[in-house]
A and B are shown apart, each in its own frame.
Chain A
Amino acid sequence: MNEMSPGTRDFKIIGTRVKRPDGVDKVTGRAQYGADLTVPGMLIGATLRSPHAHARIRGIDTSKAMALPGVKAIVTHADFAEIEDEGVRDVAINCLAKDKALYHGHAVAAVAAKDAQTARAALDLIEVDYEKLPHVTDVDEAMKPGAPVVQEGRQQENVTGDWSQNVTSYCEFGHGDPEAGFAKADHVIERSFKTAATHQGYIEPHACLASMTSDGKGDLWCCTQGQYFVRTLCAGILGMEASQLRVTASEIGGGFGGKTTCFIEPVALALSRKAGRPVKLVMSRDDVFRATGPTCSSSIDVKIGMTKDGRITAGTANLRYQGGAFPCETVSMGAQAAFAAYDLEHVRTQGWNALTNRPKEAAYRAPGAPMAVYAVESVVDELTQHFELDPLEVRLLNAADKGTKSSYGVTFEAIGLKATLEAAKAHPHYSAPLGENQGRGVSCGFWFNFGGNTCVSLNINEDGTVGITEGNPDIGGSRASISMMAAEELGVPYDRVRTIVADTSSLGYNDVTDGSRVTFAVGLATIEAARDAIRKMCSRVAKIWDIDAEAVVWKDGAAHPSGPNAGDFDPMSLAEIAALSSETGGPIAGHYEVNADGAGVSFGVHLADVEVDPETGATKVLRYTAFQDAGKAIHPDYVEGQMQGGSVQGIGWALNEEYIYDDEGHLLNAGFLDYRIPVASDLPPIDTQILEIPNPGHPYGVRGVGETSIVPPLAALSNAVSRAAGVRLHELPMSPPKVLKAIMARG
């Protein structure tokens, strides 16, 4: 086995751009997504949603709807189990409202009928007796004493101060004495920022097919980032044992964190249980916007002091996030990430979460970090403008490095921030000329990454091929990267390995595909599973040769005798060993299970060139380059794709995307026409540069790469606009009316 340290190993397959295993299925339309499965006797589900932002539900009368021919079942929250766990209970109440409708679009009841037309007609016959209540959708308003209370009794024990009950949690991080640090600065800037809630914008709406039998067994097919967590939630909400519910993840058309929870799956199971037939439930785009998780919106105050030569003397940030009608902890991630890029003697961040009458927040790529880093990087940039310093030089001067005590308390291991900044500085993009009304913005970004629960089985087939069973839906190319790592470790060609995603009954528990964890953690488990299989193959060969197992080594896809004393034997290839498996002890397989740690944090630096039209306020992105430390890029195409995808989502967050509410708390733009994500014609090619500073926590040096890339674009765009238009905005999105207003105010 080759167990050299990452960074010194000479890879054969890792780092190449092999064919993706799902390519043919996806381009031919053969891939099976959430809504694609159909079974005999299947009913169609539909969901009734609250027309009010906040209302007490005094009663629900379903009798007329049930009497409609073709209607087979109607469910409300009363069809769910009594749930002890607070987190699962919140998901259940979000799936079907209990006593109150908590936001516009909150699901209240659901119907299963013989077809979609009948199901929709039945929704019109359900009578809900609402008592309309005052509502609040803005985070700062929600925190004020006297604000309408969304849910009572949800405050954590550490919340103090004169806030409304909507404030559910408080967190604080940092070290040193910020006031002493500010006193040493030549200039201090304090600014307030607002960012809008943005949706993950996955192209595939949530969809599932549920089938419950009369003996209590269930099967669920759904698009999700984690079939095991769906099983946990649904079993808890339905009052089932996990072993009785099998969940199969479909192909997935994007998730970005938004498919790490449940919205319709428990409802479909409850309908199927009641109707005694399979039920398909598919969300419309309108439903997706109204009732699935956007990210938090935020209100942030940042204060930073700097010396005239660019050294940051202190920084503070107060972050107020709202994550909708249920408590969430996202602000704590933002408060830790805000100043992570900098080596600071004095730093303090404080964060508060507030409840509002908006949909329950769901994770979105580096949850909490983009808005916090946007605010900090904007003020850092304004200070560099004040002192007329180079923005990359200032960041290099203050950059965190190995041994830096981070703003969240941990001393960094080997990190790639300085190398990433140097790469940006040396890139032709940074010195390219700019024209009139054009500007260049820079921003750093940071994300933690993590590993988590992972279980992998690797089977040596009798024909010398390899089958891998893993438990995470393939969102960003994991089947390819997992096959590549197995092929590398076993020493066989990539096309001899096939990786499939298991259902929950076929493999042990795996955490959801989040936290940029899969290539790191599943890759690590795959390498260890391959090593397990290699040990077994070497043992079989030792018996064939009648020598000690320790005298057999694995090299280039074959077992070799180790040293002159082991004897003179021709190497036995994996295929030869597999062909003899029946005679030598039966099937050969490797297995590994772990709660993986050591994912290694990741930094990125982005450069953005924009042109602002002074007549309309419209911002056009002219050039964009993302630099990121990937540890080791297993398949560079996929790594570049993650860097490009995160950049584009961040550009949309910066320029266009926002949830817009009217005075009644109604969401006004629940569709892609009015909630405009960037499309290809809006963007230049997103250039990428991968840096490889090996992560010591992974056998091949892998770091997570999926999330960091959404963190820098918000500030990179804002900093570019400030230079292009000569005005600095403190609110996202920087939509044309806002930019134009700022230009006109400047005069």
Chain B
Amino acid sequence: MVQVQLWGSLRDAAEGEETVEVEARNFKQLLDRLSERYPGLKPQIERGVSLALDGRIYREAWFTEIGPDSEVVLMPYMKGG
């Protein structure tokens, strides 16, 4: 199981939890499982999210592998100038 930290305004869509657990080996599976388990997260996931894995931020990268003890943080889609 992967523990995923949600940013504050997503927590209402995940039964108030700051961290949720899903079964996933990569980012795509993680996002799919999150959408299935917490339909309230789906609109934001469809608008775009980034993910941080062990401190490194990924804007997309579906097939990035997630280790069992990895820190995974859901983030808004990164934007720059």
Q: Number of A interface residues, CB 8 Å?
A: 49
Enumerate chain B residues within 8 angstroms of A595, measured Cβ to Cβ: 59-61
Q: Which residues of B from 1 to 34 have beta carbons under 8 Å from A?
A: 5, 7-10, 12-13, 18
Q: Which residues on A sit within 8 Å (CB–CB) of B56?
A: 413, 597-598, 697
* Contact of A409 with B5 at beta-carbon distance under 8 Å, contacts A171-B76, A333-B79, A367-B81 already known: yes
Q: Are A413 and B55 in contact (CB under 8 A)?
A: yes
Instruction: Evaluate whether A516 and B80 lie within 8 angstroms (CB atoms) in the complex, with A409-B75, A410-B73 already known.
Output: yes
Q: Which residues of B contact A325 (CB under 8 A)?
A: none
Let me know if A130 is at the binding interface, CB within 8 A.
no
A515 within 8 A of B: yes
Contact (Cβ within 8 A) A448 B40? no
**Which of B43, B55, B77 has the most A CB atoms < 10 Å from its CB?**
B55
B55, B58, B79: the one contacting A363 at CB < 8 Å is: B79
Q: B44-59: which have CB < 8 Å to A?
A: 44, 47, 52, 54-59
Listed residue (B44, B73, B77, B78) with the most chain A CB atoms within 10 angstroms of its CB: B78
- Evaluate contact between A172 and B8: CB separation under 8 angstroms: yes
Digit string of A584-601 for contact with B (CB within 8 Å is 1, else 0)? 000000000001011101
- Chain A nearest CB from B80 CB (Å) reads 3
**Bound complex: CA A450 to CA B80 (Å):** 8
Contact bitstring A397-409, B, C-beta under 8 A = 1, else 0: 0000000000011
How far does the alpha carbon of A451 sit from the alpha carbon of B80 in the complex, in Å?
Answer: 10
Contact digits for A353-396, partner B, Cβ 8 Å, 1 yes 0 no: 00000000001111100000000000000000000000000000
Closest to B7 in A: A173
Please tell me if A504 contacts chain B, counting CB pairs below 8 Å: no
Say if the beta carbon of A330 comes within 8 Å of chain B. Answer: yes
Task: Name the distance in Å between B7's Cβ and chain A's nearest Cβ.
Answer: 5
> A363 — which chain B residues lie within 8 A by C-beta?
79-81
**Chain B proximity mask over A511-549: 1 for CB below 8 Å, otherwise 0:** 000111100000000000000000000000000000000
A173-B8 contact in complex given A158-B13, A336-B75, A599-B57, C-beta closer than 8 Å: yes
Residue in B5, B10, B18 whose Cβ sees the most chain A Cβ within 10 Å: B5
Chain A, interface SS category: loop
Q: A301 CA to B79 CA in the complex, in Å?
A: 23
A412 at the interface (CB under 8 A from B): yes
Would A172 and B59 count as touching, CB distance under 8 A? no
A675 at the interface (CB under 8 A from B): no
With A158-B13, A171-B7, A173-B8: A412-B55 Cβ-Cβ less than 8 Å: yes
Question: Could you tell me if B80 and A367 are in contact, using CB atoms closer than 8 angstroms?
Answer: yes
- Asked whether any CB of chain B lies closer than 8 Å to the CB of A411, the reply is yes
B55 and A257: CB pair below 8 A?
no
Residue of A nearest to B50 (CB): A450
Nearest-CB distance from A261 to chain B (Å)? 11
Interface centre among B12, B43, B71, B76 (most CB of A within 10 A): B76
Chain B residues in 8 Å Cβ range of A451: 59
Scan A408-426; emit 1 where CB is below 8 A from any B CB, else 0: 1111110000000000000
Contacts of A516 on B, CB cut-off 8 Å? 80
Residue from the list B5, B9, B18 in contact with A171, Cβ < 8 A: B9
- When the two chains form the complex, which single residue of A256, A350, A410, A413 contacts B81, counting CB atoms closer than 8 Å? A256
Q: B79–A170 contact, CB under 8 A?
A: no
Q: Which residues of B contact A346 (CB under 8 A)?
A: none
Given known contacts A171-B8, A410-B52, A410-B55, A517 and B80 CB-to-CB distance under 8 angstroms: yes
Cα of A332 to Cα of B70 in the assembled complex, Å: 24
Q: Determine the chain B residues whose CB is within 8 A of the CB of A124 once the complex forms.
A: none
- Excluding A158-B9, A363-B79, 10 further A-B contacts by CB distance (< 8 Å) are A157-B40, A171-B9, A172-B7, A174-B8, A257-B81, A366-B81, A410-B75, A447-B80, A450-B59, A597-B64
Listed A/B pairs (7) with beta-carbon separation below 8 Å:
A170-B9, A173-B8, A174-B8, A260-B81, A365-B81, A411-B54, A413-B56
Which B residues are within 8 Å of any A CB, using their own CB? 5, 7-10, 12-13, 18, 40, 43-44, 47, 52, 54-61, 64, 71, 73, 75-81
Closest 4 CB pairs of A and B: A257-B81, A515-B80, A172-B8, A363-B81
